[in-house]
Amino acid sequence: MTGHTRTGRPPRVVKVGGREIRPGPELDAFASWASELYRTSGPLVIVHGGGDEVSALSERLGLPALKVAGQRVTTPEVLPLVEGVLAGPVNLRLVSALNRAGLRALGLSGVSGEMVQARDVQAGLLGRVGEPTRVDAAFLQQLLLQGIVPVFAPLASDGEGGVLNVNADLFAAGIAEALGGELVLLTDVPGVLDGEGRLLGRLTPSAVRALVADGTVHGGMVPKVEAALRVLSNGAKRVWIGPFGPTALHAGLRGGTWFVPEGAPLEGRAPRARPSSPRGRPMAAAPTYPLLPLRLGAGAG
């Protein structure tokens, strides 16, 4: 089985932040956008955040709400809050909105059927936080073939009966990598900005690393660009970061930031699907980047 579905199109994996799916007009707008995207572009997987709501609950309960480079410090006390908020009201709210918009949305987490396994790659420095290592792409493909839109809360199995919190951008990258699909990271900013706040429309891996190294890219944007680089390093032709709307609906041809391989033109075809991973097949190791000065409390997710 390849990354293509019955429609002949590779799946598109969309990550949406928690701020874009809070109750109200923005949630309905996103659901309508996703329904139109499915109609025009085919198979769709959605991964959502919800960090602001987790932080608000943590603060009400007197627990710290710290982040390092956009990743939440998830102590054993904080983990149940993350699980409850992301796999509970946030996921249910989004699934309900998508169903109202005409999609067959199915709420899941990576723990469901151990579809996504992760491991701690920070030596416990962030607590119960991991990065994806295995994705059951075959099971996901079966859902897509039935016209279902999987909607994931970014929680993964540690393979030993425990749960790990995963940054939603990195979770989405793991799904896209396993399915051989295109990755779209929606955010509440125009895209990646330079030091003077101007939008950067096209970035290569070397340019991204330079922006991270000099601190231009920081906080919550760090895991986003790491996710983009991870997918590019495993054969994708492009990744897009930007706000949802007409530009994102048409693959971000205008607005947002394209991530492309070194020497690649901005224009080009959608990434060619690669064979999907069978159940239990290890994913390629995430690329490593220099450790950089990190800022606490910046970014969502």
Annotated active-site positions, please? Answer: 15, 18, 51, 169, 224
**Lookup: tokens for 77:** 């006390």
Phi and psi at residue 148, to the nearest 5°: -90, 140
**Lookup: tokens for 235:** 């054969």
**Lookup: tokens for 181:** 């699909």
**Lookup: tokens for 18:** 């928690």
Q: Would strands 116-119 and 104-109 be described as parallel, antiparallel, or unpaired?
A: unpaired
State the Cα–Cα distance between residues 96 and 98, nearest whole angstrom: 5
